[in-house]
């Protein structure tokens, strides 16, 4: 395979940015494409000093936006969704060029943005409170929900625009402005997405400062975390990052919504449909070159079928087309960069030292053609037990195969990792499925039956437990994170009875 030339990718990026309304100003920081390891563009970064000014502008916008009726706020998000539809291919192109996603996955990420806009528009008419029975006659007790304040978003490279949109679409209908610090590895798609929202804001007459993007390094993220003007800080990244972010936000009594590491497993029982199982495993484990937070990293297979499942998956891996993500037919694109490659090789070496056997994969492709691009063969590794390397997340396409005998043993293996994001079971037995879904089954935030661990829909809340951080984004009642609750008591009795039978007469 011949990888695209640098000028070809630069031209594609420039055209996509222009159509989205971005007039790119060159700066001193290169944006490097993992497709060929060469620069796509250069940008000027903002610094920590720009953060408070952005937060102040957002605070000013909040004072206006919180008084706008929620269905009217939904009209802005509706228009944003329309613009995303118009520019779906442009945004997908930028996602592919910046983070190496194959075209269908990049388009799928933009479709997630469109979907969350549709969800949020409906939500704008469903920000329901409740009425509660009061113990006092002539009183009404109720709950109401109000806009919270400025929302700060720190997103990771692997979903450079979708995760921001999950937060932003819901925050906007809830009455909150957003200040976004995207990954420094993927600023172009962020600028394009933000430009489309800016256009919608202008067309709808919404206040300036409602949406802002800050392109910069870790100092920008740290300033956003520490800003007292940020009411909710939503951060996606590693568990290590979450350990730094959570306490700092808590120290200033802010709210945090953390989406951190995953070490996701599938249990395969003897009753599973192995054709369906193989397809589910391969997409979840090798898709996005193993760089999803929901990537399947462990497959826990009953001893009666472990050899067959391993052989099926290894054979499928041997057929995977690896190469340029913008070339038709490719299923596995590049790793984001050299550090990811080094981490993968170190994990494979550690797995061997802990008794593992690399069944297939692990090698590098196109190193001579593109020494600064890192294409790898997804690896399958059989392990005798769940060792230290298996319990640690490696953000690369390594799938560890573990045997089990009883379903209780399989569930214990699934849960015996620090992370708790996504899990699944492949089975034809309803009782096995229900056991996995039960309170003493999988301890993850996402628990699936007969599908893989990745590919969540926006209608359900997304997030996980334990070192995954406990946050919930996207669907269901995740909107409550972006609002504040007030309990209201209305006395229309003309008397003043006190609760709990208290008497206090003056």
**Nearest to 397, CA basis, from 348, 462, 339:** 348
DSSP H helices in 205-337: 218-226, 239-251, 274-286, 306-318
Q: Is 259 a catalytic residue?
A: yes
Q: Tokens for 86, please give them.
A: 């118009």
- Residues 6 or more apart whose CB falls under 8 angstroms from that of 3 comprise 35, 36, 323, 324, 366, 369, 370, 373
The three-state secondary structure class of 222 is helix
Question: Beta-carbon neighbour count of residue 430 at 10 Å?
Answer: 10
Catalytic residue among 98, 109, 112, 259: 259
Q: How far apart are CA 190 and CA 370, in angstroms?
A: 26
Q: How far apart are CA 79 and CA 491, in angstroms?
A: 42
Task: Name residue 419's beta-bridge partners.
Answer: 466
Residue given tokens 């972010």 in the structure block: 245
Do 260 and 242 meet the contact criterion of CB atoms below 8 Å apart?
A: yes
DSSP string, 179-219: EEE--TT-HHHHHHHHHHHHHHHHHHTPPTTSEEE--B-HH
- The residues annotated with a catalytic role in the active site are 259
């Amino acid at each position: 395979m011949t990888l695209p030339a640098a000028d070809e990718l630069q031209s594609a990026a420039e055209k996509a940015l222009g159509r989205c309304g971005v007039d790119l100003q060159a700066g001193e920081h290169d944006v490097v494409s993992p497709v060929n390891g060469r620069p796509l563009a250069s940008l000027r970064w903002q610094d920590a000093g720009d953060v408070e000014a952005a937060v102040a502008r957002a605070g000013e916008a909040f004072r206006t936006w919180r008084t706008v009726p929620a269905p009217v706020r939904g009209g802005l998000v509706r228009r944003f969704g329309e613009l995303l539809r118009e520019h779906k291919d442009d945004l997908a192109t930028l996602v592919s060029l910046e983070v190496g996603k194959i075209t269908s996955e990049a388009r799928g990420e933009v479709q997630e943005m469109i979907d969350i806009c549709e969800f949020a528009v409906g939500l704008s008419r469903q920000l329901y409170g409740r009425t509660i029975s009061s113990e006092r006659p002539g009183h009404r007790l109720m709950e109401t929900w109000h806009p919270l304040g400025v929302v700060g978003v720190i997103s990771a490279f692997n979903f450079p625009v979708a995760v921001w949109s999950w937060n932003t679409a819901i925050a906007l209908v809830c009455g909150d402005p957003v200040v976004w610090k995207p990954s420094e590895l993927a600023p172009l798609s962020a600028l394009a997405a933000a430009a489309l929202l800016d256009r919608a804001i202008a067309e709808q007459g919404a206040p300036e400062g409602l949406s802002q993007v800050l392109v910069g390094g870790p100092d920008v993220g740290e300033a956003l975390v520490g800003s007292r003007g940020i009411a909710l800080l939503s951060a996606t990244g590693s568990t290590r990052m979450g350990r730094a972010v959570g306490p700092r936000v808590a120290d200033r009594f802010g709210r945090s919504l953390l989406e951190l590491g995953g070490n996701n497993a599938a249990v395969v029982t003897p009753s599973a449909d192995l054709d369906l199982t193989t397809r589910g495993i391969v997409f979840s484990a090798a898709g996005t070159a193993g760089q999803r937070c929901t990537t399947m990293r462990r497959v826990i297979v009953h001893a009666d079928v472990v050899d067959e499942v391993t052989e099926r998956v290894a054979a499928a891996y041997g057929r995977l087309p690896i190469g340029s993500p913008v070339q038709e037919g490719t299923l596995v694109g590049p790793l984001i960069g050299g550090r990811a490659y080094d981490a993968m090789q170190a994990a494979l070496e550690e797995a061997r030292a802990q008794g593992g056997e690399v069944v297939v994969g692990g090698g590098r492709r196109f190193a001579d053609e593109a020494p600064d691009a890192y294409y790898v063969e997804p690896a399958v590794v059989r392990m005798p037990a769940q060792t230290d390397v298996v319990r640690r997340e490696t953000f690369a396409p390594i799938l560890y195969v573990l045997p089990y005998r009883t379903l209780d043993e399989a569930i214990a293996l699934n849960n015996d990792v620090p992370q708790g994001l996504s899990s699944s079971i492949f089975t034809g037995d309803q009782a096995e499925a229900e056991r996995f879904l039960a309170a003493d089954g999988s301890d993850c935030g996402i628990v699936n039956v007969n599908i893989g661990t990745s590919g969540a829909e926006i209608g359900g809340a997304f997030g996980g437990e334990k070192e995954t951080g406990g946050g919930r984004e996207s669907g269901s009642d995740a909107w409550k994170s972006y609002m504040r609750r007030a309990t209201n008591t209305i006395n229309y009795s003309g008397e003043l009875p006190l609760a709990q039978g208290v008497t206090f007469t003056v």
